[in-house]
Amino acid sequence: MKKYRMLGAVVVAAGIAATPAAAQDWDSVVAAAKKEGTVTVYHAQFGTPHWRKVIQAFKDKYGIDVKEFDTRASELTERVRVEQTSQHYVADVEFHGEATIGQQRQGNFIAEHGDIPNAANLRPPFVADKWAVPAWVQVICPLVNTTLVKPADEPKVWSDLLDPKWKGRLLSDDMAAIGSGQTTFAAFAKAYGMQFLQKLKEQNLVFDHDLQQASRRVARGEYSVLLQQIIAFASPLKGLPVKVVLPEDGCPYTLIEGAVLNGAPHPNAARLLINHLLDPQSQLTYAEAWMGITTKGVADKLSDPDARRFADVKLLGTATLEDREAMQKAATEMFK
């Protein structure tokens, strides 16, 4: 996760944000954003309440209309590619996985965003550069049906799911598609090797491309375990017979960054929206909804026991730009 540019980026961001000139320049950005009056954002939040709450706060605070394209990560990636290669610019800003934004930079799809004041409050190991700003972390852990899976049988580590008793009882996102499935495949491959994934395949995994529907299928008892439960997306499941389990060896994750698209029709509003996602209240809203946060001083404000528990999840690994092509090829071959 951004092992380069760490100290320099933090020092520069903090220094810029502290200067009166930078504050004056940001006032100009805010004024220009309000004049633009609208912003189009692409993301994969699936209409979750915490996202809607943060976006409504943005509208109320700045009077700027927000248009959205909300879809799974692979479709979002393709939509951006088509717009950028055809130079038919619609999107202003996207919130997408770190690896994908890195790939889009190579295609000149991403514009430099300029100063984002709230980036000065990022906590280690998260850092911003001139193209993208860490906004939140999507942590992926197993979801179990508590009627079908007793506490003693909950997987304590990922390898527990290789037990024959789980055969035919495991639901999964598509391992070959960009998103939670591919992130899980890459994290498992690097942590445990391809042999582990082959054994997991032999458990007769069932794939579902709709993560929200997959959670409900586990809640209904169709399957015992969903491998890729984004923790925050489990919050609306309170009251149903499900539980997010935190394996001792950690959970795969995706760092979601905000980036301004090349040719953005409303670039100032795009910058303002990224800054808003790093606002202390926005980050608290995300943390209260069990989403991983990227700024300092938020976890200490949490009162909900589950939110506190999920704020300290051990991270297992993620899909990087460097290994994406190889991992997608391997997953496609394995699960064809």
Sorted by where each starts, the structural domains of the chain and their CATH numbers stand as: 6-137+254-303 (3.40.190.10), 138-253+312-334 (3.40.190.10)
Handedness of CA 184, 190, 194, 197 (dihedral sign): negative
Residue 11 pLDDT > 50, yes or no? no
Please check the confidence at residue 134 and state whether its pLDDT lies above 60.
yes
In three-state secondary structure terms, 265 is coil
Residue 212 has pLDDT above 90, yes or no: no
pLDDT tens track for 323-334: 888 999 999 999
245 or 22: which leads in pLDDT:
245
pLDDT number for residue 22? 57
Query: Which positions ≥6 away from 103 have C-beta within 8 Å?
Result: 321, 324
**Of 138 and 36, the one with more pLDDT:** 36
Q: What is the predicted pLDDT for the residue at 315?
A: 85
Residues 255-265: what's their mean pLDDT?
97
Answer yes or no: is pLDDT of 227 > 70.
Answer: yes
Tell me the pLDDT tens digit for each residue of 195-206: 999 999 999 999
Token pair belonging to 253 = 């994750």
Lowest mean pLDDT among 4-8, 93-97, 114-118, 197-201: 4-8
pLDDT score for 109: 98
Burial class (CB in 10 A: 0-12, 13-18, 19+), 212: middle
Q: Determine the pLDDT at residue 23.
A: 61
- Tell me how far CA of residue 252 lies from CA of 59, 148, 175, in angstroms: 33, 24, 13
C-alpha distance from residue 183 to each of 146, 155, 177, 186 (Å): 26, 20, 9, 5
- What pLDDT shows up at residue 295? 93
Give the mean pLDDT of 251-256: 93
Supply the pLDDT for residue 24: 57
Residue 224 has pLDDT above 50, yes or no: yes
Query: Do 56 and 281 touch, CB atoms closer than 8 A?
Result: no
Quick one: average pLDDT of 152-166? 98
